[in-house]
């Protein structure tokens, strides 16, 4: 086997830094696993040869340190990617979405994990996907002149599930989250509702039918309750309790304790 490429060690260190810095899977050379195996194999052969010929030389010690650090870096990259693949597979089964930057070997692992997790969810955790209609029933239709259940009245085009609706500042109502107070003007359309949940009409003192969530991070379109919802950080969203719990457990959203204020006349 030829001597190891002198620059591959630095590439391994760069790949390790990139993998730790990336939230998802980082971009990686298609032949990363094979090239790394060949590099470590040639480095190990060089170390064994140098040890036989001159065991006390400085080159032996330098080669040993290089081999140990290169092996540790390669292990770190692989273990970080395996943890991310497991998380992405669980997210795909629970919330939808697709993984990117997978190597061909990793794609096979990802597909197998999603199949096994979906089978487990179907057979051992069927309560997560109850058949039939949602216990809360379909979202009620909007009263005449009032906001709809899926988009509230605003001087902008009616938002679709893939359109972000920012919550304007308004004293209409407040919601307490972790001891602080945030604005959540339901009647002025900061809050979006998904199927199985609804937002009260303007002037109502009733809470929304469902769980109110504050989104903690931007996410791609998610398949929830038969809808594709694109959610952004700081969005306010109403979902049925079972769907809301999935986002809370995935640390994508935080439950909001909504307390409507009585209307002052």
pLDDT at 11: 93
pLDDT at 221: 61
pLDDT at 228: 59
pLDDT at 129: 66
What CATH number does domain 8-126 carry, 1.20.58.1030, 1.10.3720.10, 1.10.1060.10, 3.30.2010.20? Answer: 1.20.58.1030
Domain boundaries, the chain: 8-126, 133-265
Q: Nearest Cα to 256, choosing from 166, 168, 185?
A: 185
Q: Nearest Cα to 191, choosing from 216, 225, 163, 167?
A: 167
110, 99 contact by CB (below 8 A): yes
pLDDT at 188: 37
User: Hey, which of 56-65, 92-101, 130-139, 167-176 has the most confident mean pLDDT?
Assistant: 56-65
pLDDT at 79: 95
Instruction: Indicate the average pLDDT of the chain.
Output: 72
pLDDT at 216: 85
Q: Nearest Cα to 209, choosing from 222, 218, 219, 200?
A: 200
Task: Say whether pLDDT at 43 is over 80.
Answer: yes
Tell me the pLDDT tens digit for each residue of 118-176.
888 888 877 776 554 344 444 444 444 444 444 343 444 444 443 344 444 333 333 33
pTM score, whole prediction: 0.47
Q: Residue 155 has what DSSP assignment?
A: S
Integer distance in angstroms from the first to the last C-alpha of the chain?
87
pLDDT at 258: 67
Instruction: Count CA within 13 A, CB hemisphere, residue 208.
Output: 35
The pLDDT > 70 percentage for the chain reads 60
More confident call, 234 vs 111: 111
pLDDT at 222: 65
More confident call, 14 vs 160: 14
Q: Nearest Cα to 196, choosing from 232, 146, 243, 158?
A: 243
């Amino acid at each position: 086997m030829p001597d190891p490429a002198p620059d591959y060690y630095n590439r391994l260190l760069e790949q390790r830094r990139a993998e730790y810095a990336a939230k998802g899977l980082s971009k990686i050379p298609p032949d990363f696993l094979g090239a790394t195996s060949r590099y470590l194999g040639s480095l190990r052969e060089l170390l064994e040869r140098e040890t036989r010929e001159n065991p006390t030389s400085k080159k032996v010690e330098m080669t040993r340190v290089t081999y140990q650090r290169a092996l540790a870096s390669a292990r770190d990259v692989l273990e970080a990617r395996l943890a991310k693949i497991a998380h992405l597979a669980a997210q795909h089964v629970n919330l939808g979405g697709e993984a990117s930057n997978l190597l061909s070997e990793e794609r096979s692992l990802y597909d197998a994990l999603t199949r096994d997790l979906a089978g487990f969810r179907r057979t051992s955790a069927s309560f997560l996907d109850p058949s039939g209609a949602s216990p809360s029933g379909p979202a009620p239709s909007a009263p005449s002149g009032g906001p709809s259940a899926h988009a509230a009245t605003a001087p902008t085009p009616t938002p679709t599930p893939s359109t972000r609706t920012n919550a304007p500042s308004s004293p209409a109502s407040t919601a307490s989250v972790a001891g602080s107070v945030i604005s959540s003007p339901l009647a002025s359309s900061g809050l979006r509702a998904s199927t199985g949940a609804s937002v009260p009409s303007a002037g109502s003192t009733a809470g929304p039918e469902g769980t109110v969530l504050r989104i903690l991070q931007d996410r791609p379109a998610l398949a929830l309750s038969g809808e594709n919802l694109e959610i952004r950080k700081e969005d306010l969203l109403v979902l049925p309790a079972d769907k809301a719990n999935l986002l809370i457990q995935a640390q994508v959203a935080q439950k909001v304790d909504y307390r409507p204020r009585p209307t002052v006349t």
